[in-house]
Chain A
């Protein structure tokens, strides 16, 4: 699976959009981009995933560049409860749940 690079930490004002970048320059054509987050002392929570098209669900939007070498997770209206570590994972969507988690980005939503 391709390696990902994320900033170690970011701040965001409550109510504003949080834009979390992820670099995956060695991604292969059949690899998906997944985002999970982990709120302190809880298990990781699935947010969204995509292959090449932009995706949106009730939690967030995922914007993948045309060359697929990077992506951005957007939380449209960040709340204090969105403070967490956000993990960007790239993997082939074959069978199996062997996700490789990197250090992620620690997002702090500030009042």
Chain B
């Protein structure tokens, strides 16, 4: 079956702009979570959506937001981009509370 699909794979944005990243989970998975990975901070949890509701949230500023649609696809948005937002953004989907399946990520570069 198809894995977790993230689009786009690479993105370059300018400081102050906003960006939207997309994640299509594995068919049947209702949980989608987002992570940010940087060389300095490692993998950090952003938030998780389940059945269109945010049920867990990490310690990130309000500029980071997300949503989930009725078909479980999810988007995350970052407004007023800063240089420090340059990172690999990973999406993971799961059927239950155990095994999470990660996508290949979107590499965002802010210049």
Interface residues of A (CB under 8 A from B): 38, 42-46, 49, 87, 93-103
Stretch of B60-68, B77-85, B92-100 on the interface side: B92-100
Interface of A is mostly: loop
Is the CB of B58 closer than 8 A to any CB of chain A? yes
Interface residues of B (CB under 8 A from A): 4, 31, 33, 35, 42-45, 48, 50, 55-56, 58, 90, 92, 94, 97-105
Whether A97 pairs with B102 at a CB distance below 8 angstroms is no
Provide the bound-state CA to CA distance between A38 and B42, in Å: 12
Whether B102 pairs with A98 at a CB distance below 8 angstroms is no
Whether A103 pairs with B100 at a CB distance below 8 angstroms is no
How many residue-residue contacts, CB under 8 A, span A and B? Answer: 56
Whether A46 pairs with B101 at a CB distance below 8 angstroms is yes
Asked, given contacts A43-B4, A43-B90, A43-B105, whether A97 binds B100 with beta carbons under 8 Å apart, the answer is yes
Q: List 5 A-B contacts (CB under 8 A).
A: A46-B99, A93-B98, A97-B94, A99-B45, A101-B44
Whether B105 pairs with A97 at a CB distance below 8 angstroms is no
Whether A44 pairs with B43 at a CB distance below 8 angstroms is yes
Whether B94 pairs with A101 at a CB distance below 8 angstroms is no
Whether A45 pairs with B102 at a CB distance below 8 angstroms is yes
Residue in B closest to A96 when the chains form the complex, CB atoms: B56
Provide the bound-state CA to CA distance between A49 and B105, in Å: 23
Residue in A closest to B32 when the chains form the complex, CB atoms: A97
Report which of B33, B45, B92, B102 forms a contact with A100, defined as CB distance below 8 A: B45
Asked, given contacts A95-B97, A101-B43, whether A44 binds B102 with beta carbons under 8 Å apart, the answer is yes
Provide the bound-state CA to CA distance between A97 and B44, in Å: 12
- List B contacts of A102 (CB < 8 A): 42
- List A contacts of B101 (CB < 8 A): 46
Whether A97 pairs with B31 at a CB distance below 8 angstroms is yes
Asked, given contacts A42-B104, A43-B90, A44-B102, whether A95 binds B42 with beta carbons under 8 Å apart, the answer is no
